[in-house]
Amino acid sequence: MISLSSPVRTWAHGWRAGTKLAALCVATMLLFAIGNIVFQTAAFGFALLLYCLPGRVFLREGLRHLRVLIPFVAIVLIWHLVTGDPARGIKTIMRMVTAVALANLVTMTTSLTALMDVVRWMSSPLRRLGVSTAPLEIVLPLLIRFVPVLTLRAGQMHQSWRARSQRRANYRIVLPMMLMALDDADRVGEALKARGGALPEQEN
């Protein structure tokens, strides 16, 4: 899952989060169970159609978030070209992009609160056994929220580099990105600590 919310309201916003997640699980299993190129092509086209139906703004926003897949697509394609099996590479790329695109549709049309309600319901058997699910209920929203934030920060840092140098950024922005991520994590940790913490205190 990449993005956090949709810039426009769509027909899928009215669906229950559990229904959408269940449909996503079934669709993902079918994508990996059926290797037929015709099926993969049809699934890819169907996912693209789902992005087109809500309108141009939704399509542009959804495709913008999927741009993070470009390096992975390039690596998979180059690898299969080198190994002499481009057909399998294209099928793998279509499967990967379709699965991520469908997952992205779920997060774009579902509030974070609704997603966490599903996680809380699914983890209820653990609570009956005495296992605290509070850390899980805190970590998952943070993970979902930080992915688009870090992607945005990386884009901003890359633009800043280009404004100050004619050389390509390449690996040079990795260390600043790591430091920025650690700084964000430290701030979030301090905020959680100020609100009582995410984990129960251990007895000495």
Work out the mean pLDDT of the chain and round it to a whole number. Answer: 81
- Quote the pLDDT of residue 121: 84
Tell me which of 2 and 47 has the higher pLDDT.
47
pLDDT digits (tens, 9 = 90+) for 77-130: 999 899 888 888 899 999 999 999 999 898 888 887 888 888 788 888 888 888
pTM score: 0.69
Both tokens of 25, joined, read 């699980």
162 contacts 169 by C-beta, under 8 angstroms: yes
DSSP 8-state secondary structure symbol assigned to residue 8: S
Structural tokens at position 153 = 């920060």
Please tell me the predicted confidence (pLDDT) of residue 198: 53
> Which pLDDT does position 118 carry in this prediction?
84
Structure confidence at residue 14 (pLDDT):
82
Give yes or no for residue 201 having a pLDDT over 50: no
Helical H segments across 34-85, by residue range = 37-52, 56-66, 70-82
What's CA 88's distance to the chain center, in Å?
Answer: 24
Residue 204 scores a pLDDT above 60: no
- Residue 42 clears pLDDT 90, i.e. is over it: yes
Say yes or no to pLDDT of 29 above 90.
yes
* Residue 124 half-sphere exposure toward CB, CA atoms < 13 A: 6
Round to whole Å and give the CA distance between 101 and 107. 10
| Predicted local confidence at residue 96, as pLDDT | 92
Q: Return the minimum-mean-pLDDT range out of 28-32, 65-69, 85-89, 106-110.
A: 65-69
- Tell me the Ramachandran region of residue 170: left when phi exceeds 0, alpha when psi lies from -120 to 50, beta otherwise: left
Rounded to 10 degrees, the C-alpha dihedral 184/185/187/191 comes to: 140
Mean pLDDT of 25-38: 90
| Tokens 């983890």 belong to residue | 123
| Residue 13 or residue 43, greater confidence | 43
Report, as an integer, the average pLDDT of 54-58: 87
Q: CA of 115: how far to CAs of 4, 123, 137, in Å? A: 11, 13, 10
| Range among 20-24, 142-146, 153-157, 168-172 with highest mean pLDDT value | 20-24
Which of 77, 83, 102 is closest to 26 using CA atoms? Answer: 102
Q: How many CB atoms lie within 10 A of CB 147?
A: 17
d(CA 118, CA 50) in angstroms, rounded, equals 23
Choose between 76 and 4: higher pLDDT: 76
